[in-house]
Structure 1
Amino acid sequence: MPARKQGENWDDLRYFLAVARTGTLSAAAERLGTEHTTVSRHILSLEAELKNRLFHKSNAGYVLTPAGERLLQAAETIESAWLLSKSSTSADEQQLQGVVRIGAPDGFGSIFLTPKLHELTDLHPGLEIEVLAAPRAFSLWKGEVDIAISLSGAEHMRVASRRLTDYRMFVYGSRSYLSQAEPIKTVKDLERHPFVGYVEEGLFAPELNYLSAISNDISPHIRSSALLPQVFATLGGQTLGILPAYIAAFFPTLVRVLPEDIALTRSFHMHVHQDHRKAAHIREVANFVADAVHRNARLFMGESAQK
């Protein structure tokens, strides 16, 4: 049997981690940019070297065996050391390099964060940032993202979390809608107006179930699984919507309705896996996100324009 080349052990572990996090060979192959047969070969090689089966294959995909569970912790430790080594080398060269993937709610990721990221990539040309802006929770453990923005604190012990900011939400309508609709003088009046809201079955965070905080008699005529369709439905001039102030600030035709009576407060939190938070390129991006939010604290509270 030919001797294993230097680096093949880590290669096998990379493929192992990808399968453990995605649950299938095909998904792991897509993540690593290779073929599923290549993934299978590395897993078989690793199992042969360790003389242990690492996965059970079922209709649901690949599930870790007890031996696989034990290897997972060691593999994540090695991965962390590799990331730290890579980032330290980049720091020594005074240039950050690498890919950092951010998962964030669609409004925050698309409208607030993404337009600002060029400031960071201009400063560090070797840095690549991927933004997954979608109405769902993102898994750090499965390796979907390096940094996750959510509406709640972390639920796992091996995740480093920080509260980014509170943000406020108001009822909004377009100037065109409010100019021709029945007057709205009290909260009770809102029950006679159409609303856009979330599809309840698709809520990715309980914090988004806020219509009942205003009135149990408001039922949206239009529902969406994401925030941005609600924003554009409200801009369309045929409905009211409950929108974050930091989003509405980008659209001057949106007007707050009964802001003295209705102002909901929610929070954004940032999470980074404990094993990765010391990597220089991930730390730099996380600090940039936190700083951008801090500089725009008044925007999130609905008090001023962005910076």
Structure 2
Amino acid sequence: MDWDKLRIFHAVAEAGSFTHAGDVLNLSQSAVSRQISALEEALQVPLFHRHARGLILTEQGETLNQTVREVFSKLAMTQSLLTESKEKAAGRLRVTTTTGFGTCWLTPRLHRFVDANPDISITLILEDNDLDLGMREADVAVRMHPPRQPDLVQRHLADFPLPIYASPGYLEEFGTPATLDDLSSHKLVLFGGYHPPVPHINWLAEAGVPADEKRPARIEVNSLPAMAEAIASGVGIGSIPAYAAVLHPHLVKILSDVTVPTVDAYFVYPEELRTSKRVAVFRDFLLAEINGRH
């Protein structure tokens, strides 16, 4: 098994087709197909089931791809550490976080980081589902929950409350609820999707109602920024982090005497990057921004 064939195999396994892998590798579809056939011949096992709509890994292919992913992720980690300057932070840093936090809070502040660290380039990956840092899907993450993987270094960043908001137009038309019970006669904006961006995002559906009941949503949307837009447009009442509401300064915070859930934000990264200067300066940047020091 030579490295070139393994690299091509991994690209095909991730892309699911010879054509898409060829686009990534800048090779023709036929060249990619020949390399995979040669690898299968050398191993004397089929690696893919070929069908009209693409490729599916065989059991042997799954086993090989898992190993190849681990090897290439370790190589990528080693390369980034070897190429990092000993005197200053430099190189590429791949950061992942939720769509809402990345869009509303992090992206508007990144210019200060890149201005202060001209030798670091940022790749920002916004994904409400957790990427696997151990497999190098990203270098570092800002997570809205404690890390679930035991081999990750974590640093608590902040507690973000989930206040209740409405637009002035909505309150003028439908009135201002005085208690949580009053919400049952109001329209709610809730999160709808398989990967909630933060815990307790739909707590308003259950607050103050019997355990087996839920308030219905007037609208559900699988994006915190879109929830903020919906609330701001007067669709209904919703609970979102202040960092998502800040883009709509006219929003009115209501039921301020109610104790609301909070979201614990963590900065996490693999143990192998503990000594990385890029990781350290990005962590310090996040803490400074959250604490208003810039």
In structure 2, the partner of 1:97 is 91
Whether 1:145 and 2:142 are equivalent positions in the alignment is no
Residue number among 120, 133, 136 corresponding to 2:126 in the alignment: 133
In structure 2, the partner of 1:192 is 185
In structure 1, the partner of 2:232 is 235
Aligned to 2:175, the other structure's residue is in SS state: coil
Rate the CA distance shift 1:233–1:209 in 2: closer, same or farther, 3 A: closer
Of stretches 70-79 and 247-256 in structure 1, the one that deviates more from structure 2 is: 70-79
Contact 1:134–1:226 under 8 Å retained in 2: no
Rate the CA distance shift 1:131–1:74 in 2: closer, same or farther, 3 A: closer
Rate the CA distance shift 1:192–1:296 in 2: closer, same or farther, 3 A: farther
**What is the CA deviation profile of residues 132-177 of structure 1, one whole-angstrom value per residue up to 9, with x for unaligned ones?**
3244443446754343443334444555554443321011012333
Residue number among 57, 70, 73 corresponding to 1:76 in the alignment: 70
Following TM superposition, by how much is the alpha carbon of 1:203 offset from its aligned partner in structure 2, in angstroms?
4.2
In structure 2, the partner of 1:222 is 219
Contact 1:166–1:266 under 8 Å retained in 2: yes
In structure 2, the partner of 1:62 is 56
Identity of aligned residues (%): 23
Gaps of 5+ in 2: none
Rate the CA distance shift 1:74–1:193 in 2: closer, same or farther, 3 A: closer
The letter of the residue matching 1:55 is L
Gaps of 5+ in 1: 1-7, 299-304
Following TM superposition, by how much is the alpha carbon of 1:111 offset from its aligned partner in structure 2, in angstroms?
1.4
Within 5 A, what are the aligned runs for 1:149-164?
A: 149-156=142-149, 159-164=152-157
Contact 1:112–1:247 under 8 Å retained in 2: yes
In structure 1, the partner of 2:241 is 244
Residue number among 143, 162, 165 corresponding to 1:169 in the alignment: 162
Residue number among 79, 89, 92 corresponding to 1:85 in the alignment: 79
The letter of the residue matching 1:117 is L
Aligned to 1:114, the other structure's residue is in SS state: helix
**What is the CA deviation profile of residues 44-86 of structure 1, one whole-angstrom value per residue up to 9, with x for unaligned ones?**
454455x353724266843264476367446634542454234
Rate the CA distance shift 1:210–1:81 in 2: closer, same or farther, 3 A: same
Contact 2:73–2:135 under 8 Å retained in 1: no
Aligned to 2:85, the other structure's residue is in SS state: helix
Rate the CA distance shift 1:22–1:288 in 2: closer, same or farther, 3 A: farther
Rate the CA distance shift 1:113–1:202 in 2: closer, same or farther, 3 A: closer
In structure 2, the partner of 1:266 is 263
The letter of the residue matching 1:53 is V
Rate the CA distance shift 1:235–1:183 in 2: closer, same or farther, 3 A: closer
Q: Distance in 2 between matches of 1:208 and 1:58?
A: 42
In structure 1, the partner of 2:8 is 15
Rate the CA distance shift 1:225–1:181 in 2: closer, same or farther, 3 A: same
Of stretches 133-142 and 163-172 in structure 1, the one that deviates more from structure 2 is: 133-142
Q: Distance in 1 between matches of 2:244 and 2:293?
A: 10
The letter of the residue matching 1:231 is A
Contact 1:169–1:244 under 8 Å retained in 2: yes
Q: Distance in 1 between matches of 2:65 and 2:178?
A: 63
Aligned to 1:91, the other structure's residue is in SS state: coil
Q: Distance in 1 between matches of 2:17 and 2:200?
A: 32
Contact 2:100–2:197 under 8 Å retained in 1: no
Q: Distance in 2 between matches of 1:72 and 1:142?
A: 10
Following TM superposition, by how much is the alpha carbon of 1:29 offset from its aligned partner in structure 2, in angstroms?
4.4
Q: Distance in 1 between matches of 2:18 and 2:200?
A: 35
Contact 1:52–1:67 under 8 Å retained in 2: no
Contact 1:186–1:258 under 8 Å retained in 2: yes
Q: Count how many residue pairs are aligned between Structure 1 and Structure 2.
A: 288
Whether 1:118 and 2:118 are equivalent positions in the alignment is no
Following TM superposition, by how much is the alpha carbon of 1:288 offset from its aligned partner in structure 2, in angstroms?
4.6
Q: With the length of structure 1 as denominator, give the TM-score of the two structures.
A: 0.73
RMSD: 3.7
